[in-house]
């Protein structure tokens, strides 16, 4: 039987205007956004769009010329969300580096395993994670055959924070901002965006321990392009997000960092979710949109807390990371009349939008994930199908090139396969 391939109802994605992620997302915005607020710290301190660009270029220069990191070298990030996090990520793109964001809640052993799997040359960590990050970095260097000197256990370990003053670790670890000068780095030219890796994102996959998934410049660019094509009704320059999804997750990396930046959309950055602080920030900033997961929506639907705040500005919530039931959908509709609840489906390996709810003009079925995203093909298989596993049924230009150093993974779930992304035209 010939395979059944479903394609997107959306037009083909246009050819990307840039090959480097940063040039693409910053190039989508015009100069009039320079003074527009882009990221807001939890206490209210603001970063304008122009400040983010300037600080990212200054940090990129420091990464290259003060820390000595050269294009294609890798570094780990162990940190909760804060407003310096996107500056570091954009600086990495400018400098042609590969960032490996890691969940800071992991154990020391798990952190070390991820750092070693990514074969990083440096680590950036928030002060709140310093003890575990230091221990993991020492262990990872041992696994990589680069043992740490007892006299300098923190070599290559830098602090990353958005505090008003520079921070320092108890063993002398320095704030990477101490390396900034007035110099700014021009963007590294990516000659082969389809294959040049920009991120190693860690995924639980369908078997075994977390795996490092190689995400290319082209993957991210096409993922953002798909969002721009499908989400413009609720995500625009005049909209405001309250964001708590972790930047170390593909959902947060693309939809809370890169997509809003390409639009000049304000994001109020929270280090973690708390219902009271979330509702308070929606009220304070008249937020119009939020990226959420089902447990958060359940609290919004059933908890008495939201009734204490003015939530009337919230026009859209987009749910991902787990299925959203029709019952929860109906509870939200009843409590928040007029609120658009968008659903979606994606993976680290395919980036966050494989299937997503579309524009206002299209019907939105309760309990359904949505429609196939632009530039994506979906192959249907039975539950008993063996030739195409759970992670192999999708293709498109946002599809990751494969998982790093996982030769012993099960063939059935596709975790050892390396894929060649298809062109936007072929994917449509």
pLDDT digits (tens, 9 = 90+) for 237-250: 899 999 999 999 99
| Whether residue 367 sits in one domain with residue 260 | yes
Mean per-residue pLDDT, 195-200: 96
pLDDT in tens, 146-163: 877 655 667 899 999 999
CATH value at residue 161: 3.40.50.980
What pLDDT sits at residue 408? 41
What pLDDT sits at residue 389? 44
What pLDDT sits at residue 414? 35
Residue 300 has pLDDT above 70, yes or no: yes
Mean per-residue pLDDT, 23-43: 89
Asked whether 202 and 210 are in contact (CB, 8 A), the reply is yes
Residue 400 has pLDDT above 70, yes or no: no
| Whether residue 420 sits in one domain with residue 337 | yes
Inside any domain, residue 31: no
What pLDDT sits at residue 361? 59
| Whether residue 175 sits in one domain with residue 244 | no
Residue 419 has pLDDT above 50, yes or no: no
Residue 396 has pLDDT above 60, yes or no: no
Inside any domain, residue 391: yes
CA dihedral sign of residues 209, 214, 215, 218? negative
CA angle in degrees (0–180, nearest 5) for 202-207-213: 25
| Whether residue 322 sits in one domain with residue 256 | yes
* Neighbour order of strands in the sheet with 394-395: 4-7, 377-380, 394-395
Question: Where is average pLDDT lowest: 75-89, 120-134, 379-393, 410-424?
Answer: 410-424
Domain boundary among 179, 204, 227: 179
CB atoms within 10 A of CB 343: 22
What pLDDT sits at residue 425? 31
Higher pLDDT residue, 363 or 177?
Answer: 177
Inside any domain, residue 12: no
| Whether residue 253 sits in one domain with residue 397 | yes
Inside any domain, residue 19: no
Read off the pLDDT band of 379 (50, 70, 90).
confident
Read off the pLDDT band of 376 (50, 70, 90).
confident
| Whether residue 387 sits in one domain with residue 239 | yes
CATH value at residue 374: 3.40.50.12780
Inside any domain, residue 17: no
Inside any domain, residue 4: no
Mean per-residue pLDDT, 212-235: 87
Domain around 143: 38-179
Domain boundary among 179, 206, 221: 179
| Whether residue 229 sits in one domain with residue 123 | no
What pLDDT sits at residue 211? 85
* Neighbour order of strands in the sheet with 344-347: 344-347, 351-356, 371-372
Inside any domain, residue 99: yes
What pLDDT sits at residue 226? 86
Residue 426 has pLDDT above 80, yes or no: no
Question: Where is average pLDDT lowest: 112-121, 213-222, 389-398, 404-413?
Answer: 404-413
Mean pLDDT rounded to a whole number for the chain: 84
Domain boundary among 179, 204, 220: 179
| Three-state SS sequence of the chain | CCCEEEECCCCCCCCCCCCCHHHHHHHCCCHHHCCCEEEECCCCCEEEHHHHHHHHHHHHHHHHHCCCCCCCCEEEEECCCCCCHHHHHHHHHHHCCEEEEECCCCCHHHHHHHHHHHCCCEEEECHHHHHHHHHHHHHHHHHCCCCCCCCCCCCCEEECCCCCCCCECCCCCEEHHHHCCCCCCCCCCCCCCCCCEEEEEEECCCCCCCEEEEEEHHHHHHHHHHHHHHCCCCCCCCCEEEECCCCCCHHHHHHHHHHHHHHCCEEEECCCCCHHHHHHHHHHHCCCEEEECHHHHHHHHHCCHHHHCCCCCCCEEEECCCCCCHHHHHHHHHHCCCCEEECEEEECCCEEEEEECCCCCCCCCCCCCCEECCCCEEEECCCCCCCCCCCCCEECCCCCCEECCCCCCCCCCCCCCCCCCCCHHHHC
What pLDDT sits at residue 2? 64
pLDDT in tens, 47-102: 999 999 999 999 999 999 999 999 999 999 999 999 999 999 999 999 999 999 99
Read off the pLDDT band of 348 (50, 70, 90).
low
What pLDDT sits at residue 13? 79
| Whether residue 295 sits in one domain with residue 383 | yes
Q: Which pairs with CB-CB distance under 8 Å and at least 24 residues apart come from 414-418?
A: 414/388, 414/389, 414/390, 415/205, 415/206, 415/207, 415/208, 415/211, 415/391, 417/392
Residue 417 has pLDDT above 70, yes or no: no
Inside any domain, residue 13: no
| Whether residue 295 sits in one domain with residue 407 | yes
| Whether residue 243 sits in one domain with residue 110 | no
Mean per-residue pLDDT, 18-39: 88
| Whether residue 107 sits in one domain with residue 155 | yes
What pLDDT sits at residue 384? 66
What pLDDT sits at residue 207? 59
Distance CA 179, CA 159 (A): 11
Distance CA 205, CA 309 (A): 38
| Whether residue 305 sits in one domain with residue 197 | yes
Give the total number of structural domains in the chain.
2
């Amino acid at each position: 039987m010939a395979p059944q391939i479903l394609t997107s109802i959306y037009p083909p994605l246009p050819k990307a205007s840039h090959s480097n992620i940063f040039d693409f997302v910053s190039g989508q915005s015009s100069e009039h956004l320079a003074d527009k607020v882009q990221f807001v710290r939890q206490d209210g301190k603001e970063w304008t769009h122009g400040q983010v660009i300037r600080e990212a270029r200054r940090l990129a220069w420091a990464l290259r010329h003060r820390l000595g990191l050269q294009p294609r070298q890798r570094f780990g990030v162990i940190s909760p969300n804060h407003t310096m996090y996107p500056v570091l990520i954009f600086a990495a793109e400018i400098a042609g580096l590969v960032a490996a964001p890691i969940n800071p809640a992991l154990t020391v052993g798990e952190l070390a395993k991820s750092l070693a799997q990514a074969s990083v040359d440096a680590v950036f960590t928030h002060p709140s994670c310093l003890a575990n990050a230091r221990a993991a970095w020492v262990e990872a260097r041992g696994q990589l055959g680069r043992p740490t000197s007892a006299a300098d256990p923190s070599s290559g370990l830098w602090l990353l924070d958005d505090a008003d003053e520079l921070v320092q670790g108890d063993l002398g670890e320095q704030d990477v901002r101490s390396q900034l000068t007035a110099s700014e780095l021009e963007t590294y030219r990516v000659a082969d965006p389809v294959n040049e890796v920009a991120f190693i994102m860690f995924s639980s996959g369908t078997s075994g321990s977390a795996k490092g998934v190689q995400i290319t410049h082209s993957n991210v660019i096409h993922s953002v392009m798909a969002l721009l094509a499908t989400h413009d009704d609720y995500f625009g320059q005049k909209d405001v997000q309250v964001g708590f999804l972790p930047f170390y997750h593909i959902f947060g990396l693309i939809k809370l960092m890169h997509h809003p930046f390409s639009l000049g959309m304000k994001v109020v950055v929270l280090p973690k979710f708390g219902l009271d602080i979330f509702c308070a920030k929606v009220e304070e900033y008249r937020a119009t949109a939020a990226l959420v997961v089902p447990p958060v929506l359940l609290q919004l639907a059933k908890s008495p807390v939201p009734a204490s705040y003015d939530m009337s500005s919230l026009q859209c919530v987009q749910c991902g990371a787990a299925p959203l039931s029709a019952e929860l959908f109906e509870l939200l509709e009843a409590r928040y009349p007029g609120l658009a609840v968008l659903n979606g489906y994606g993976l680290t390996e395919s980036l966050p939008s494989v299937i997503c709810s579309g524009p206002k003009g299209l019907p939105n079925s309760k309990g359904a994930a949505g429609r196939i995203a632009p530039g994506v093909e979906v192959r249907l298989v039975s539950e008993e199908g063996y030739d195409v596993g759970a992670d192999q049924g999708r293709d498109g230009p946002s599809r990751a090139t494969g998982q790093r150093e996982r030769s012993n993974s099960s063939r059935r779930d596709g975790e050892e396969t390396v894929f060649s992304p298809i062109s936007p035209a072929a994917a449509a």
